[in-house]
Amino acid sequence: MKKNGFKAWLYLLPAVIFLGVFMLYPLIDVFVYSFEEGYNSASQTYYGVGGYNYDYVLHDPYFMQALRNTFILVIITVPLSTGLALLISLALNSIKKLRMAFQTIYFLPYVTNTLAVGLVFMILFKKTAYSDGLVNVLINLFGGGSVDFIDGPYWAKMFVLCFYTIWIVLPFKILILTSALASVNETYYKAARIDGTSRWRMFTKITLPMISPMIFYLVITGFIGAFKAYSDSVALFGTDLNAAGMNTIVGYVYDMLYGDSGGYPSYASAAAIILFVIVLTITVINLMISKKKVHY
């Protein structure tokens, strides 16, 4: 038994070392930094220990802006993208002809280069000297005035950011959900049909419960992914996100470390720990709900 234990650890060693060095140690380190006031990474010195970093971060208007942006992004994109993905998957599942073609089309954004997607969004939304962007052309067509989506009002920018995020995460969710739908045994629907079950009831009473594990998986990973959003914002609004008012928590952490106003690892650590606590709380709540709702 003892020998087996030793062997097991030996086999686990490579993974344990890597996880320890690159995951566990930094995590503990960040936690420690977040309580060290005025930590300087070059000289490895600090003035004192306490909650000052948290106090600073939580009173920093830029952080509050980032926090608000992140929450809005999460609350809008996670339900919308999951719902949309479910609708599209259901449609894909119900057609027979051209199903493969459509599946490929819907999966394309997933393998498309982010820069290419960014370019498409430029064409759609960016105001240039020559055009106001395709969306504005459409708005003008219906008699509306042009809106500056990239440098304009807050909600216009937030709309573009949410739109972009949903667009990016949709293909993966569709992929997961179409395979989940396809794996539901056909005889359940036959049995339901014999019993005169309406389509809506089949969906809510059979399809949804059957694929609920997958939906919860997508919701949980969706929440985590959206809370960690940063690159999408950069792709749309450039690197000076504070000025654009479109910063996210991860963006704030980055700025605190390396940005123009950077060089404050203590503040960055405190912000990172706050994000960690938020994500942990939301995930635990998610898991608790899924335990109640997802059976078998």
Partner 1 sequence: MKITLKNLTKRFPNRTKNMPDVTAVDNFDLEIPDGKLIGLLGPSGCGKSTALNLISGLETPTEGKIFFDSDDVTDVPPELRGIGLVFQNYALYPHLTVMQNIIFPLENLKGNKKLTKEQMKRKAEEAAKLVQIDGLMERRPSELSGGQQQRVAIARALVKTPRVLLLDEPLSNLDARLRLRTREEIRRIQRETGITTIFVTHDQEEAMSISDLIIVMKDGKIQQTDKPQKVYDDPKNLFVAKFLGTPAINVFVGSIKHGKVFIGDDPVMPVKGIENRPVYVGIRPEGFIPDENGGLKCKLVGVEVMGRDTSIISNHYALEGETIRAIVDSDQAPDSESGEIRFSVKPHKLFIFDKETEERIYINNED
Q: Does residue 97 touch partner 1 according to CB under 8 A? A: no
7 or 193, CB closer to partner 1?
Answer: 193
Task: Confirm if 236 and 164 have CB atoms less than 8 A apart.
Answer: yes
* 191 counts as binding partner 1 under rule CB under 8 A: yes
The tokens of 58 are what? 């939580």
Q: Does 198 bind partner 1 (CB under 8 A)?
A: yes
Residues 14, 48, 143, 196: which binds partner 1 (CB under 8 A)? 196
Give 122 or 192: the residue with its C-beta nearer to partner 1: 192
Min separation Cβ 78 and partner 1, Å: 24
Contacts of 216 (CB under 8 A, 6+ apart): 286, 289, 290, 293, 294
Q: Binding to partner 1 by residue 142, rule CB under 8 A?
A: no
Which structure tokens are listed for 7?
């062997």
Token pair belonging to 49: 């220990």
Let me know the angle formed at the C-alpha of 118 by 117 and 120, rounded to the nearest 5 degrees.
Answer: 65
Q: Which of 68, 99, 205, 228 binds partner 1 (CB under 8 A)?
A: 205
Number of residues near partner 1 (by CB under 8 A)? 20
Binding part of the chain for partner 1, among 26-34, 152-160, 195-203, 243-251 by CB under 8 A, reads: 195-203
Q: Identify whether the C-beta of residue 131 lies closer than 8 Å to the C-beta of residue 137.
A: yes
199: contact with partner 1 by CB under 8 A: no
Binding site for partner 1 (CB under 8 A): 185, 187-188, 190-198, 201, 205-206, 209-210, 212, 295-296
